Amino acid sequence: MDSNKKLGLIGRNISYSFSKKFFENKFQKLMLKDFSYDIFDLNEISEVENLFSSPGLLGFNVTIPYKEKIIGYLDELSDEAEKIGAVNCVLIRNGKKTGYNTDAFGFEKTLLLHKKPSQDKALILGKGGAAKAVKYVLDKHHIPSITIARNTDINFDNLNQEIVQEHSIIIQCTPVGTYPNIEDCLNFPFDALSPEHLVIDLIYNPSYTKFIIKASEKGAKTVNGYYMLEQQAEKAWEIWNFQKK
């Protein structure tokens, strides 16, 4: 009988991972010798089938580009994951695979920590899994938002200064500017930003993306994705360990 308890992260081209370091430090602190956390780099989501049969697997985190695609491989979803339409945490218990969304929890903690009462309208940049979690949290707090993506009505080519001035919360949810492509930056009217703006970039590596640097040059309050990442990881740990059926 394999007594090892396995956790991990699935994604594509995940050469670096906050999660692996985070959980390995946690195992060390809690002196959990039988836990391991691995990176599962999948070329196609269908490869997750092989992973499911791995003995001792308690669950795993999900990152780009599989947060939506994983849903078809699961037995059930938490209420939040179902409403969001994206999963970043999977629990496997007695052969049953349940999807959760802890990005929403992490983003909500980040938003409430930094938002001023006057900041009451948001722009969501991107429309992938993370953007869906962000939209869910904004809706929950009755903060109207507009999603900007390549193929939305308002997109990166026609987003103007006026729209940016009217929306004092900007959340950058695309992977543009992530390590190793740290020189990349979204096309965005930075001149419209002011000290009245809160700019949250969900990227954590590098700590300061080109997007954050340009926003802070205009006096905006800027926050990277590190705290959100830490919070969503803590929530995942709770799910894997305390969802006793």
Tell me the three state secondary structure of residue 11: strand
Q: What is the pLDDT of residue 57?
A: 95
* DSSP H or E run through 60: strand 59-62
Q: What is the pLDDT of residue 53?
A: 87
Q: What is the pLDDT of residue 181?
A: 93
Q: What is the pLDDT of residue 4?
A: 87
Q: What is the pLDDT of residue 17?
A: 78
> 130: closest CA among 106, 113, 114, 112?
106
Q: What CA–CA distance (Å, rounded) separates 122 from 197? A: 10
Distance of CA 149 to the CA centre of its chain: 17
User: Cβ of 9: how many Cβ atoms within 10 Å?
Assistant: 20
Q: What is the pLDDT of residue 133?
A: 97
Give pLDDT tens digits for 160-177. 999 999 999 999 999 999
Catalytic annotation on 67? yes
Distance of CA 46 to the CA centre of its chain: 22
- Residue among 6, 20, 67, 132 flagged as catalytic: 67
* Full-model pTM: 0.93
Q: What is the pLDDT of residue 243?
A: 60
Low-confidence ranges of the chain (pLDDT < 50): 1, 245
Q: What is the pLDDT of residue 173?
A: 97
Residue partners of 126: CB distance under 8 A and separation at least 6: 147, 148, 149, 172, 173, 174
Domains, the chain, ordered by start: 5-101 (3.40.50.10860), 104-226 (3.40.50.720)
Residue partners of 167: CB distance under 8 A and separation at least 6: 121, 122, 123, 145, 146
Give pLDDT tens digits for 70-113. 999 999 999 999 999 999 999 999 999 999 999 999 999 999 99
